[in-house]
Amino acid sequence: MTNDSDLRIGVYVCHCGTNIAGVINVKELAEYSSKLPYVVIAKDYRFMCSDPGQEMLKNDIKEYRLNRVVVAACSPLMHEPTFRNAIRGAGVNPYLFEQANIREHDTWCHMHEPEKAMQIAKDLMRSAVAKASKMEPLEIVEVPVKRSALIVGGGIAGISAALDLADAGFEVHLVEKDTTIGGRMIQLDKTFPTMDCSACILTPKMTGVGRHPNIKLYAYSEVKSIEGYIGNFRAKIVRKPRYVIESKCNGCGKCEEVCPVYVPNEFELGLKPRRAIYIAFPQGVPNKYTIDMDKCMKCKLCVKACEPEAIDFNQQPVEEEIEVGTIITATGFDPYDPTGDYGFGTYENVVTGLQVERMLSAFGPTGGEVVRPSDLKVPKSVVFIQCVGSRNFRKNSYCSRVCCMYAMKHARQLKEHHPETDAYVLYMDVRAFGKGYEEFYERAQREYGINYVRGRAAEVLEDPVTRNLIVRAESTELGRPIELDVDLVVLSVGLVPRKDVEEVQHLLKISRSADGFYLEAHPKLRPVDTLTDGVFVAGVAQGPKDIPDAVAQAKAAASGAASLMSRGKVEVEPFYSVVDADKCSGCLSCIAMCPYGAISIQDGKAKINSVLCKGCGCCVATCPSGSITQNQFKDSQIFAQIEALLAER
Amino acid sequence: MKDSKEKNAGFEPYVLGLVCNWCTYAGADMAGTSRIQYPPNLRLVRVMCTSRLDPTFVIRGLELGADGVLVSGCHPGDCHYVNGNYKTERRMYLLRELIQQAGLEPERIRLEWISASEGSKLAEVMKDYVNVLKKIGPNPLRNSREKHHVDEKDLFGKELK
């Protein structure tokens, strides 16, 4: 316990360029700080986080024999680690540092009230100095990191991350909810702008996953629970019963041929039925059949037809518990459901972009030909309506990023198959931002003759006899309403978070952004980390994006996870709580309150396991005798902050 | 009515914010990053989870002259520490009843759930709370207590570390 008389606090006010200095007088704030208790030196400087700024800190610590440092600058969520490392380098315990947030919490949100902003800065400065005066050195806690990773989601992002980590030598557990991996990318026919066949570039990766010695694939499985913390997660995985013995099934398909049950096919988006015993698509990994027991009639005709005798109606779910060091969330998205928009669900010949993908696919419901659902005829004219479900304050306000490009791709493919077809794209803006995208757009207009009409579609009406559609829209270029008489309307639907996004969120204890996708730790500098250490996010799970960006994020997440796992250990903040056994009365109140079960009774007194304790502080507030203190967030420190904040009230 | 209007004229409420690191503190950061301007009446104290908040922190704030105390954390179900916010909710609801026994208006304790991406919600809450506090007037306890540092002592009379 440092004696008050030995406290020597150094205060630094950062200008942050003009971000802070442009609103408040930083020299005045430094001058004010120099008069606060225990402050030995107070300076202002343009950019404290820069190399010279940090050098100055280190030099001052030596010169003025500082044992506490306060920096008034940006948010600690931004630079607390930077400054902690700087003072650590100068021999001061990194937890003897406090950062006053006078940028995000002051100058940035009170830009036009400099006097009030100055008062707030002074209040926050007193609070930080008061806290610093009560801080004690803390030992850094090191925990081991297991050299295995859990990847939730087997789409292109999950697959890319799995292959990278497995190649690096780590053990990978890849869990996929559906009967096979492949995600959304396997539902696509071609990928823009290269027009690569999606299945052709994806299936080698899928088989790579299936074969890799370091990847344990759990298809048709779900993660039931995750406990623990970075480096030491314990996950329970449930393998759902296929009612088919995987080791015996050879994918021959004889069972499918005899199954009398026809139900809507989710993979084909309702364009084609499947049987109760089914395989999602021919190139599935694992290439095993599954019985949808909800729809199965239990006629057991499949059992008779199956030569390897692979069908087992008594199969049970199997639970497995694994221990991993890191987790990557690559759970993907759902397409926006436009039921009720522009006649979708009512008019047969209004379809979604993803349905068009399935029709264009060689192994899809129509063998590669885009046709009108009402009469299976090739359309002579098509309208693509953009931004369906996106950029709309009534639905989703964000832009789904890929629809401009995929509609362009669809229109080009239609024109390639049938050059005489008229294709119109009704758009607000065309976003062709990626590598090769603008050139793709230019060719789409110039060579393929696709008509780009700038205007929103107001409504779609149907001719009940021909089932043709009349699209009423505005052409902003002509400055008047227009009517397009077409055979087929394609709604370019946006990307939305999956139905189970909240369930998975609670499983992983991560946050979501306002748009519903998972929240990254920092939008610019940490786009694949989450705020939960050890848990990463990649692909559309983090927000709408195209395949190149999803793969880039997957590789980034794999790199983040590999960095932790190869180091083998990670520093965890020592903000755990400690019981003073002398004061503890053994009332057991804290034990029930701890969400991590970190408290146990030893010799009649409560004892906290400092590795299990996550530092929430609930037990501290619960304890009726005040026996528990939380490192770095003690009662004395918080009271000091409150008193300091209100000292000039 | 006229009296209280004069009393409240030019009164700028002081809101003490006791917020959790993962949600509301980050949400306040987001408000700043997005340059959302809101009334300059808030000063924040950061804790890791609102379940750390002893009711005496709120009482001390009111004792020392804060016109309102804003306690804010993660949305129910989203607590970084599983269920800390439920415990906070119970404590604050009870505390709000108790301060009325002491003659303080219940509006002086405000409980909100503001997530890391809800910078604009914090701004809206602050705009509303400042209006509410302006209506009910300054904290009657302000200036009623000698401002000196009170050593925190535990039940046994020993100074708190």
Contact assignment for A111 to B116 by CB distance below 8 Å:
no
Task: For A647, name the nearest residue in chain B, comparing CA atoms only.
Answer: B147
Inter-axis angle of helices A635-645 and B55-63, nearest 10: 20
pLDDT single digits (tens) B27-84: 999 999 999 999 999 999 999 999 999 999 999 999 999 999 999 999 998 888 888 9
Helices (H) and strands (E) in chain A, counts: 16, 34
Residue A642 is which amino acid? I
A101 interface with B at CB cutoff 8 Å = yes
Residue A644 is which amino acid? A
Instruction: Count how many Cα atoms sit within 13 Å of the Cα of residue B114 in the half-sphere of its side chain.
Output: 28
Contact assignment for B38 to A645 by CB distance below 8 Å:
no
Maximum alpha-carbon separation in chain A:
93
Question: What are the φ/ψ torsions at residue A354 (nearest 5 degrees)?
Answer: -70, -35
From chain B, the residues in CB contact with A76 under 8 A are 46
Contact assignment for B161 to A1 by CB distance below 8 Å:
yes
Task: For A119, name the nearest residue in chain B, comparing CA atoms only.
Answer: B40
Planar angle of CA A425, A430, A432, nearest 5 degrees: 120
CA distances from A118 to A26, A31, A35, B133 (A): 9, 13, 16, 22
- The share of chain A scoring above pLDDT 90, in percent, equals 91
Instruction: Count how many Cα atoms sit within 13 Å of the Cα of residue A558 in the half-sphere of its side chain.
Output: 25
Task: For A98, name the nearest residue in chain B, comparing CA atoms only.
Answer: B46
**A32 in Cβ contact with A24 (< 8 Å):** no
A458-468 burial by CB neighbour count: b if 16+ within 10 A, else e?
eebebeeeebb
- A-B Cβ pairs (cutoff 8 Å, strict): 169
Residue A599 to residue A576: CA distance in whole angstroms: 11
Element (DSSP H or E) covering residue A250: none
Residue A444 has pLDDT above 80, yes or no: yes
pLDDT bin (cut points 50, 70, 90) of residue A467 is very high
User: Best mutation site among B44, B53, B60 for testing chain A: the one with the most A CBs within 10 Å?
Assistant: B44
A109-132 burial by CB neighbour count: b if 16+ within 10 A, else e?
bbeeebebbbbbbbbbbbbbbbbb
**A176 in Cβ contact with A219 (< 8 Å):** yes
Quote the tokens at residue A216.
Answer: 């344990």
**B41 in Cβ contact with B126 (< 8 Å):** yes
Element (DSSP H or E) covering residue A473: strand A469-475
Residue A6 DSSP symbol: G
Contact assignment for B64 to A113 by CB distance below 8 Å:
no
Residue A315 has pLDDT above 80, yes or no: yes
Nearest CB partner across the interface for A616, out of B44, B48, B149: B48
Of the candidates A538, A84, A504, A159, the residue with the CA atom closest to the CA atom of residue A332: A538
Residue A308 has pLDDT above 70, yes or no: yes
User: Best mutation site among B45, B85, B122 for testing chain A: the one with the most A CBs within 10 Å?
Assistant: B45
Q: For tokens 């300059």, name the residue.
A: B40
Question: What are the residue ranges of helices labelled H in A325-402?
Answer: 353-360
C-alpha distance from A104 to closest chain B C-alpha (Å): 4
C-alpha distance from B54 to closest chain A C-alpha (Å): 5
Torsion of CA A412, A415, A355, A360, to 10 degrees: -90
Contact assignment for A532 to B83 by CB distance below 8 Å:
no
Q: What is the pLDDT of residue B154?
A: 59
Residue A489 to residue A199: CA distance in whole angstroms: 26
User: Best mutation site among A508, A535, A618, A629 for testing chain B: the one with the most B CBs within 10 Å?
Assistant: A618
Residue A190 to residue A410: CA distance in whole angstroms: 9
From chain B, the residues in CB contact with A594 under 8 A are none
Q: For tokens 């100058």, name the residue.
A: A107
Of the candidates B73, B64, B49, the residue with the CA atom closest to the CA atom of residue A126: B64
Q: What is the pLDDT of residue A573?
A: 86
From chain A, the residues in CB contact with B36 under 8 A are 109
Q: What is the pLDDT of residue B151?
A: 59
CATH (residue range B2-140): 3.40.50
Residue A558 is which amino acid? A
Question: What are the residue ranges of helices labelled H in A361-436?
Answer: 403-417
* A63 C-beta neighbours (distance < 10 Å), count: 10
**A180 in Cβ contact with A605 (< 8 Å):** no
Residues pairing with A422 in the sheet: A381
**What DSSP string runs through A96-121?**
SEEEEE-IIIIITTSTT-HHHHHHHH
Q: What is the pLDDT of residue B1?
A: 43
Of the candidates B69, B50, B49, the residue with the CA atom closest to the CA atom of residue B59: B69
Q: Which of residues 513-572 of A touch B (CB under 8 A)?
A: 513-514, 519, 531-532
pLDDT single digits (tens) B126-152: 999 999 999 999 998 887 655 555 556
Rounded to two decimals, what is the model's pTM? 0.81
3-state secondary structure of A399: coil
From chain A, the residues in CB contact with B29 under 8 A are 75, 77-78, 101, 104-105
From chain B, the residues in CB contact with A617 under 8 A are 47-49, 51-52
From chain A, the residues in CB contact with B12 under 8 A are 116
- The share of chain A scoring above pLDDT 70, in percent, equals 100
Residue A41 to residue A35: CA distance in whole angstroms: 9
Residue A145 to residue B5: CA distance in whole angstroms: 62
3-state secondary structure of A245: coil
Contact assignment for B47 to A620 by CB distance below 8 Å:
no
Residue B26 to residue A75: CA distance in whole angstroms: 9
Q: What is the pLDDT of residue B141?
A: 86
Quote the tokens at residue A516.
Answer: 């519903």
Question: What are the residue ranges of helices labelled H in chain B?
Answer: 2-8, 24-33, 55-63, 84-101, 119-136
Torsion of CA B79, B82, B88, B91, to 10 degrees: 160
Contact assignment for B48 to A531 by CB distance below 8 Å:
no
Nearest CB partner across the interface for A531, out of B22, B57, B66: B22
Q: Which of residues 15-54 of B touch A (CB under 8 A)?
A: 16, 21-23, 25-26, 28-29, 31-33, 35-38, 40, 42-49, 51-54
Contact assignment for B116 to A621 by CB distance below 8 Å:
no
From chain A, the residues in CB contact with B94 under 8 A are none
Residue A150 to residue B46: CA distance in whole angstroms: 32
pLDDT bin (cut points 50, 70, 90) of residue A571 is confident
User: Best mutation site among A230, A616, A630 for testing chain B: the one with the most B CBs within 10 Å?
Assistant: A616
Q: For tokens 């757009």, name the residue.
A: A441
Domain boundaries, chain B: 2-140
**Cβ-proximal residues to A32 (8 Å cutoff; 6+ apart), any chain:** A122, A125
Nearest CB partner across the interface for A111, out of B37, B54, B82: B37
Q: For tokens 């499918």, name the residue.
A: A256
pLDDT single digits (tens) A70-120: 999 999 998 999 999 999 999 999 999 999 999 999 999 999 999 999 999
Q: Is A611 left (phi over 0), alpha (psi -120 to 50) or beta?
A: alpha
**A456 in Cβ contact with A473 (< 8 Å):** yes
Of the candidates A219, A212, A230, A278, the residue with the CA atom closest to the CA atom of residue A251: A278
ipTM of the complex: 0.90
Residue A46 to residue A56: CA distance in whole angstroms: 12
The larger pLDDT score, comparing residue A1 to residue A41, is at: A41
C-alpha distance from B29 to closest chain A C-alpha (Å): 5
**A73 in Cβ contact with A14 (< 8 Å):** yes
Q: What is the pLDDT of residue B148?
A: 52
From chain A, the residues in CB contact with B26 under 8 A are 77, 531
Q: What is the pLDDT of residue A120?
A: 97
Residue A32 to residue A43: CA distance in whole angstroms: 10
Q: Compute CA A647 distance to the chain's CA centroid, rounded to the nearest angstrom.
A: 43
Q: What is the pLDDT of residue B5?
A: 53
Question: What are the φ/ψ torsions at residue A40 (nearest 5 degrees)?
Answer: -95, -35
C-alpha distance from A319 to closest chain B C-alpha (Å): 24
**A588 in Cβ contact with A551 (< 8 Å):** no
Residue A596 to residue B62: CA distance in whole angstroms: 33
From chain B, the residues in CB contact with A621 under 8 A are 51-55, 87, 91
Contact assignment for A77 to B29 by CB distance below 8 Å:
yes
Residue A280 has pLDDT above 90, yes or no: yes
Give strand ranges (E) for A519-584.
535-537, 569-572, 577-579
Residue A220 is which amino acid? Y
C-alpha distance from A626 to closest chain B C-alpha (Å): 7
A17-46 burial by CB neighbour count: b if 16+ within 10 A, else e?
eebbbebbebeebbebbeebebbbbbbbbe
Residue B6 has pLDDT above 50, yes or no: no
pLDDT single digits (tens) A336-360: 999 999 999 999 999 999 999 999 9
Quote the tokens at residue A132.
Answer: 């610093």
Residue A570 to residue A399: CA distance in whole angstroms: 38
CA distances from A556 to A405, A553, A583, B53 (A): 24, 5, 49, 38
C-alpha distance from A226 to closest chain B C-alpha (Å): 12
B111 interface with A at CB cutoff 8 Å = no
Contact assignment for B52 to A519 by CB distance below 8 Å:
no
A77 interface with B at CB cutoff 8 Å = yes
Residue A606 to residue A587: CA distance in whole angstroms: 9
Contact assignment for A618 to B87 by CB distance below 8 Å:
yes
**Cβ-proximal residues to A310 (8 Å cutoff; 6+ apart), any chain:** A244, A245, A248, A249, A250, A289
A634 interface with B at CB cutoff 8 Å = yes
Torsion of CA A120, A122, A123, A129, to 10 degrees: 140
A511 interface with B at CB cutoff 8 Å = yes
**A127 in Cβ contact with A101 (< 8 Å):** no
From chain B, the residues in CB contact with A113 under 8 A are 40
Helices (H) and strands (E) in chain B, counts: 5, 4
3-state secondary structure of A411: helix
Contact assignment for A120 to B28 by CB distance below 8 Å:
no
- The share of chain B scoring above pLDDT 90, in percent, equals 74
Residue A49 is which amino acid? C
From chain A, the residues in CB contact with B61 under 8 A are 642, 646
Quote the tokens at residue A601.
Answer: 């009774």
Contact assignment for A113 to B40 by CB distance below 8 Å:
yes
pLDDT bin (cut points 50, 70, 90) of residue B2 is very low
Planar angle of CA A441, A443, A449, nearest 5 degrees: 100
